[in-house]
Structure 1
Amino acid sequence: MNDQTFSLQPFPSIKSLPNLKIAGNIDRNSNQLAISYTLGGDLKEIVIDRPSNAQLRKHELWKDTCFELFLSIKDSQRYWEFNLSPAGHWNVYRFDGYRQGMQEETAFTILPFNVQNQADGLALALDVDLDKIVSAEQAIEVGITTVIKHRNGEGTYWALTHRGAEADFHLRDSFIVEL
């Protein structure tokens, strides 16, 4: 087991940000990956889609409030992007290299996760078996991110670290959690 807590930081900008906090924990036990996010603060200033009864695979979830996870095998250029919407929608994409060869990852046909509205925020938890894409012996590197869509239509970009001149979750230098 390799349980780690995290706190995401907004990409530095001149925009005024609502009072938000995004934190959570991530753990890999054998090849079972568990990640949970908590979003707290002034949520009335951001757009959060209502939970749906159907968890559907959808594209372009990052255009709205979306919790994300970038995962790579250590010393490999290939990586995966997991998108999780508070509405319950999801997708997983595979890349051959930095923003190259993007394909929907067909190894996953469902990606069940839980979303809970709480009095002081929102919680999202994913527990996924990675056997379909990596072996339990392979070390992985993870980038943890979130896109927050504000009521005014603008988005802010949250990550463990921001390594580029612009917000760019695909930069491998930002996959800083090793599991």
Structure 2
Amino acid sequence: MNDQTFSLQPFPSTTSLPNFKIAGNIARNGNKLAIRYMLEGDLKEIAIVPPSNTPSRKHELWQDTCFEFFLGVKDSQRYWEFNLSPAGHWNVYRFDGYRQGMQEETAFENLSFNVHNQADALALVLDVDLGKIISAEQAIEVSITTVIKYRNGEVTYWALTHQGAEADFHLRDSFIVKL
């Protein structure tokens, strides 16, 4: 099993932001991928959609607070974007290349994950079988990201690394976790 910890950084901004920390760990065992995000700080500043009784696949989750990761196969331009809302909603998109050929990934009919929300911390844990999209032998490269929307409407973009002049989670140079 390959297990790595991570800590996300906000895209540089001139705006003064509340003090938050986004960290976690990601692990791969064969075709099983486990990722755990931990958002810590004064969460009353963040706009968090309340948990849904009927979580479902939804589009444009990145318009609100959303935990994401991008997964690519080594030496391939194809990649997937996983979006996970604290409300329990989700989506997975497949791309043929950098921002090209975006399609909803139909190999996943459901993507269940756990969210634990407290006053000063929010944990999101996902265990997913990647066998529907890749083989266990394929090396993968991952970018771990988060969009944070504040109650005042401000949005910040968090990632392991920011490679562009603007926040852009799709840049393949940002897929720095090797699993």
Shared fold, TM over 0.5: yes
8 Å CA contact 2:43–2:119 kept in 1: the answer is no
Tell me what 1:124 maps to: 124
Tell me what 1:37 maps to: 37
* Alpha-carbon distance, 1:42 to partner: 1.4
Q: CA RMSD in A?
A: 0.6
Runs ≥4 residues deviating over 4 A: none
Superimposed CA distance per residue, residues 34-60 of structure 1 (whole angstroms, 9 cap, x where no aligned partner) = 000000101111100111121200000
* Alpha-carbon distance, 1:119 to partner: 4.3
8 Å CA contact 2:55–2:89 kept in 1: the answer is yes
Tell me what 1:8 maps to: 8
Q: Secondary structure at the match of 1:53?
A: coil
Distance 1:5 1:103 in 2: 30
Identity %: 82
Distance 1:55 1:107 in 2: 18
Q: How many residues align?
A: 179
Tell me what 1:27 maps to: 27
Distance 2:100 2:154 in 1: 26
* Alpha-carbon distance, 1:75 to partner: 0.6
Tell me what 1:100 maps to: 100
Q: Secondary structure at the match of 2:36?
A: strand
2:60 matched to 1:60? yes
Q: Secondary structure at the match of 1:173?
A: helix
TM-score normalised by the chain length of structure 2: 0.99
Tell me what 2:166 maps to: 166
Distance 2:83 2:119 in 1: 24
8 Å CA contact 2:37–2:125 kept in 1: the answer is yes
8 Å CA contact 2:44–2:119 kept in 1: the answer is no
Superimposed CA distance per residue, residues 107-134 of structure 1 (whole angstroms, 9 cap, x where no aligned partner) = 0000010001134210000000000000
Tell me what 2:153 maps to: 153
Distance 1:94 1:37 in 2: 22
Q: Where do 5+ consecutive residues of structure 2 fail to align?
A: none
TM-score normalised by the chain length of structure 1: 0.99
Q: Secondary structure at the match of 1:44?
A: helix
Distance 2:139 2:99 in 1: 21
Tell me what 1:77 maps to: 77
Q: Secondary structure at the match of 1:3?
A: strand
Distance 2:154 2:50 in 1: 19
